[in-house]
Structure 1
Amino acid sequence: MKLSVIVVNHNMCSLLKQCLVTLTRACKDIEHQLIVIDDASTDKSVEMMQAEFPEATLIVNDHSVGMAAARNQGIEKANGEYVLLVNADTISGKKTIEQVVEFMDKHADAGGVGVRALTPRGRFMPDSRTGFTRGWAMLLKVTGLAKYFSKSRLYKHDENWIEEEEFATTEVDVINGAFMLLRRSALKEVGNLDERFIQYGHDIDLSFRLRLAGYKNYYYPRTYILNFAKQLVPKFTWNYIRKFYGAMIIFAGKYLFKMPEIKVPGMPQIFAPKYEIER
């Protein structure tokens, strides 16, 4: 099987339906399986899934386990050569999945790839390119871990570089978690998502582990997704603060007192690795 598509849902019934309709359309010419994990929704999501997407493998949790653990449930059921982790609030372009699968087929060194994300109004979302919010960028600067994320330009303050490189296919440090196409063999090598990152940060951690293992992460902007960026946990609440900033603490503790070595075949680890850019 070529592709396993994994979607985690929690109380996003209407958005989930839109997401699955566009994913099904985008995968129609690809041998694939669709896996949906409902993380203890209290709306009509499960009923909608059973009625309208009976072909999908549906996993229903009786209590919420969080995004990372729920995605791991899907990964354990995956049989595809590639695994696509996609958020339930995402709409895929008609050719998006076909194009990224083709890209991965041509780039054997790639552990994963992400695409250009737009808001429903068509505005470019910079974190689809960088993989970082400002909070995460600040954490990496303060802890000194930023030196391991050289492509993210965390020390630069030029606001124009994102616009200039929005349409450049390039190697990146982090693949945005809203849409991550991963090579399953690479995922088996580095391990599943770290479930200590309950809601946030698991995509950053996985991307970092892929690079440490010698794989490359790519940003492919020649296709796109629409991302509604629905906030599962309301900001300015203790639950959000605990999960968001807690993820940063876990990440810093996991790597700060180690000396990670990024493997670049054929290159001694003296200089920071160079990155490929295609225009």
Structure 2
Amino acid sequence: MRNPPKQLCSIIIPVFNGLEYTRRCLGALAESVRKIPHEIIVVDNGSTDGTVEWLRNQPIPLRIISNNSNLGFARANNQGAKIAHGTFLVFLNNDTLPHGDWLNALIHRAQIDPDISAVGAKLLYPDGTVQHAGITFNAQGLPEHFLRGMPYADHPFLNKAREFQAVTAACVLIPRKIFFDAGEFNTDYRNGFEDVDLCLRIGSIGGKIYYEPKSVLIHFESKTEGRHNHEESNRRLYQRLWSGRVSRDEDSFGRAFLKDVLGFPARFTIIVPLREPSSSFVSCLTALRAAAVESPAQYSFIIADQILPKSSQCLEDLSRTVGLPLEHERFSSGTPLSTILLQVSRKYAADFTAIIDPRVLVGPGWAHRLARPLNTAVPRAAGPILSGGGGSQEAPPSLAAPSQKLLLSDVANAAYRNSANKSRAAKTLSPLAFMVNPAALHTLTHAPSWEDPSTAFRVLGVQLRVAEDAYAFFKENASVSQVSVLQSG
């Protein structure tokens, strides 16, 4: 019997239903890889929507494994790898659309350095925002998609190849030998964490993991049925295997990104004044956590409290619930905002200090977009576009407000696309949401207390700006359903 032909790449696609995604993926795939020696292996996990029948009638050569039931992501990929002939294994989700030279870019990166043992692609959502540009690990050691949901697909920072501890297996190239040396995908996971676990094992045997931005695909993400059914058990298994063994690098990548955007790795102090009971308080904090996607450790979140009892444990419970380290500073009832701003800024040194009313939901990227016009020695304060806030910061009619059908992140990203890096002079700023630089804070030390700091700033000659690419939403009873919480997946 003749030996099978040696292929450069074996493209392995696990599927479970989702025929329309498979159809589109294979259509794009056939055109983009035709000049590269390859084979396509599709592993069907017991689809019931006619997927196998459709696959068998395709004109392009496919190797098909048909399982009687859904064996899961890990087992299906391992099955495909075991029959693969390629030097490189390329694991690809069926809910992706490859673009251009995506595969050549992965191969080229892998061949630059023999120690590179896994290469992941830049994955974008259909609206062009970032889905995957490498995986970082947060303060709890859990994986997070770096800058996920942000409209920075073509930002120079994301157009540079970088080494990470992990990349997603929605599209990843791994040399066949490395894959088996590392022990394949761990089948104890069920549709979650398999890729992170494998990358960490590859790293533990000396392999480098790289993100390659020249390889671009659209990812519809998590279209597989039952994708989220095992999140908690997967997380427990991951923590049992890897707790204390990963480098918690989210902060370092975030600092590098902020340095690239602002010229230095800025630190922010965010003050949330709690002056009366607010049903929006939890939603406000949830939005702040979601918006701190680039580097939560660069932020200090201060609750300037005037209503909670001294013995209250609710902030500690709330901190755990929303995933934010909250600091508690107590003020007497009626303390003016300018006094709160000054006293907190003296205790929590930062490059930029902001006040966010608990009825305000901030959008992704709001902080460094406000900071950009403040990055000067000139005393300045800046506010975001503020839907529902009125005045000079009111969002233009063309920018729809968040709703049950339109996420806060969608509106914020639209504001960025429409007005990236633009700011304008303003006569007033709403006390609901604004940020100041150190020079502006210094001017407050020479003024009496003001309830509306922007009034004091105007009197003292501080320049006021509206950052047209920063977005926030004000509503008396804003709800969590209007917050786009960015999670890993």
Do they superpose with TM above 0.5? Answer: yes
- 1:182 corresponds to 2:174: yes
Quick one: distance in 2 between partners of 1:223 and 1:57? 24
Q: 2:466 matched to which residue of 1?
A: none
- 1:227 corresponds to 2:219: yes
The one-letter code of the counterpart of 1:249 is R
**1:255-270 equivalences in 2 (<5 Å):** 255-256=242-243
CA contact (8 A) 2:87 2:176 kept: yes
**1:24-173 equivalences in 2 (<5 Å):** 24-53=30-59, 55-125=61-131, 128-131=132-135, 137=137, 141-142=139-140, 145=141, 165-173=157-165
CA contact (8 A) 2:18 2:223 kept: no
Match of residue 23, structure 2, among 17, 37, 40: 17
Instruction: State the Cα distance separating 1:186 from its structure 2 match.
Output: 1.1
Quick one: distance in 1 between partners of 2:134 and 2:112? 23
Query: How many equivalent residue pairs?
Result: 240
Higher relative contact order (CA 8 A, sep 6+): 1
Q: 1:266 matched to which residue of 2?
A: none
Long gaps (5+) in structure 1 = 263-271, 273-279
Quick one: distance in 2 between partners of 1:233 and 1:9? 10
Quick one: distance in 1 between partners of 2:158 and 2:208? 19
Instruction: State the Cα distance separating 1:201 from its structure 2 match.
Output: 0.5
The one-letter code of the counterpart of 1:247 is N
TM-score (norm 2): 0.46
Instruction: State the Cα distance separating 1:18 from its structure 2 match.
Output: 1.0
Task: Report the CA distance shift for 1:23/1:153 in structure 2 as closer, same or farther (over 3 A).
Answer: closer
Q: What do the CA deviations read for 1:257-277 (whole angstroms, capped 9, x no partner)?
A: xx7599xxxxxxxxx9xxxxx
RMSD, aligned α-carbons: 2.8
- 1:198 corresponds to 2:190: yes
Instruction: State the Cα distance separating 1:141 from its structure 2 match.
Output: 3.1
The one-letter code of the counterpart of 1:165 is F
The one-letter code of the counterpart of 2:8 is K
By percentage of residues, which structure has more helix?
1
Sequence identity percentage? 21
User: Which segment is superposed worse, 44-53 or 205-214?
Assistant: 44-53
The one-letter code of the counterpart of 1:73 is Q
Instruction: State the Cα distance separating 1:43 from its structure 2 match.
Output: 0.1
What secondary structure is seen at the aligned counterpart in 2 of 1:6?
strand
Q: What do the CA deviations read for 1:152-208 (whole angstroms, capped 9, x no partner)?
A: 899xxxx89995621121101111121011111211211110001111000000010
Quick one: distance in 2 between partners of 1:92 and 1:221? 13
CA contact (8 A) 1:69 1:198 kept: no
Task: Report the CA distance shift for 1:104/1:42 in structure 2 as closer, same or farther (over 3 A).
Answer: same
Instruction: State the Cα distance separating 1:229 from its structure 2 match.
Output: 1.0
The one-letter code of the counterpart of 1:16 is T
Q: 1:254 matched to which residue of 2?
A: 241
Task: Report the CA distance shift for 1:11/1:161 in structure 2 as closer, same or farther (over 3 A).
Answer: closer
TM-score (norm 1): 0.78
Q: What do the CA deviations read for 1:110-153 (whole angstroms, capped 9, x no partner)?
A: 1110111111222222xx12336xxxx5xx633xx46xx8xx89
CA contact (8 A) 1:166 1:221 kept: yes
Q: 2:472 matched to which residue of 1?
A: none
Instruction: State the Cα distance separating 1:107 from its structure 2 match.
Output: 2.0
Task: Report the CA distance shift for 1:48/1:160 in structure 2 as closer, same or farther (over 3 A).
Answer: closer
What secondary structure is seen at the aligned counterpart in 2 of 1:29?
coil
Instruction: State the Cα distance separating 1:231 from its structure 2 match.
Output: 3.2
